[in-house]
Amino acid sequence: MTEIREAPSMKAVARDLVVAVEAHELRKEFKVPDRKKGRFGRKTRVALDGVSFTLGRGETVAILGQNGSGKSTLVRLLSTLLLPDGGSAVIFGHDVVSDARAVRRLVNRVSVEASFFKKMSSAENLGYASRYYGMTAADTKDLIPEILERVGFPRDRRDEPMENLSRGMQQKVALARALLTSPVLLLLDEPTTGLDPRSKLEVQDFIREIRTNHDSTILLCTHDLAEAETLAERVGILDRGRLLALEPADDLKRRYGCGTLEEAFFSATGRAFEAEGDEDDEDDDREVFA
């Protein structure tokens, strides 16, 4: 009996021993115009302010944060699209700066600004991406229709140019593309924002399926508390570039003595979850004037 009870936890421990992402004091700043300082005035906006965390292989972690809290910046740093101004991030042993090429092979990012060849169809775009990953037409003949089916992409729209598709449909193609290669680290930046309720559920089911059937580690940035709670093993609260907590949703609620994740968010940040982020608050002491 004891052995049976111990087995799952041992498995979890073994899995967690493989570190997928190790971020240490990650920092990112942007130089932005400062009208108060005249025409050429500049100030520094801190988007990430010393973010540290570790993700275990196979783990799904959700990051919650208001607009402008730094979620997309974090995803861009981890996918080598941006260079950090400080700190480090290592993905399966590869540094995002010094070993960016290796990182790009392991990481797939899905975001609202996914780019496609807009005159080409969804199937053609996926075909193009698969060649980039070194797959042949024979490899993808059945795979592409199958993946499009699984993300709930309408069958009768597969041959239409991307530019004719709704944003939700394009989002599904972006997800399908990220799954062509069974990515090792999947960075999902608001994958369900703007989708209709049914598409949202389809995409969430699909994320669940990836968790179960692929050996992927998932970082999911979302504005949807229920999505975070149901899909992720741990939930992080990012506030003005600082990661205030990263733990299972139940632990978060317990820590802040709250019944819901929304209340826990409020207790942690002092701000309502759905309120606009005050990124250019004049009294924001994080802004270093240049």
Ligand X SMILES: Nc1ncnc2c1ncn2[C@@H]1O[C@H](COP(=O)(O)OP(=O)(O)OP(=O)(O)O)[C@@H](O)[C@H]1O
14 binds, among Mg ion, ligand X, none (CB under 5 to 8 A by kind): none
Taking residues 66 to 105 in sequence order and writing x for each that binds ligand X by CB under 6 A, - otherwise, the string is -xxxxxxx--------------------------------
169 binds, among ligand X, Mg ion, none (CB under 5 to 8 A by kind): none
Q: Minimum CB separation from Mg ion for residue 77, in Å?
A: 13
End-to-end Cα distance, the chain: 65
Residue written as tokens 């002491």? 285
Q: Minimum CB separation from ligand X for residue 1, in Å?
A: 47
CB nearer to Mg ion: pick between 72 and 108: 72
Torsion of CA 208, 211, 110, 62, to 10 degrees: 80
* SS3 sequence of 59-108: CEEEEECCCCCCHHHHHHHHCCCCCCCEEEEEECCEECCCCHHHHHHHEE
- 235's tokens: 């939930």
Say how many residues make up the chain: 290
Among the listed residues 43, 45, 234, 253, the single contact to ligand X using CB under 6 A? 45
- 89's tokens: 């991030």
182 binds, among ligand X, Mg ion, none (CB under 5 to 8 A by kind): none
79 binds, among Mg ion, ligand X, none (CB under 5 to 8 A by kind): none
* CA separation for the pair 272, 263 (Å, rounded): 8
Among the listed residues 95, 247, 262, 279, the single contact to ligand X using CB under 6 A? 279
Q: Minimum CB separation from ligand X for residue 121, in Å?
A: 28
Residue written as tokens 């993905």? 91
154 sits near ligand X (criterion: CB under 6 A)? no
* CA separation for the pair 100, 80 (Å, rounded): 6
* CA separation for the pair 285, 290 (Å, rounded): 13
**Backbone φ, ψ for residue 56 (5° rounding):** -85, 150
Q: Minimum CB separation from Mg ion for residue 72, in Å?
A: 3
- 87's tokens: 């700190």
126 sits near ligand X (criterion: CB under 6 A)? no
What share of residues in the chain are helix, strand, coil (percent, to 5)?
40, 25, 35
73 sits near Mg ion (criterion: CB under 5 A)? no
Q: Scanning residues 7 to 36, which ones bind ligand X (CB under 6 A)?
A: 30, 32
30 binds, among Mg ion, ligand X, none (CB under 5 to 8 A by kind): ligand X
Among the listed residues 60, 66, 72, 199, the single contact to Mg ion using CB under 5 A? 72
Q: Interface residues with ligand X (CB under 6 A)?
A: 30, 32, 45, 47, 65, 67-73, 279
Q: Interface residues with Mg ion (CB under 5 A)?
A: 71-72
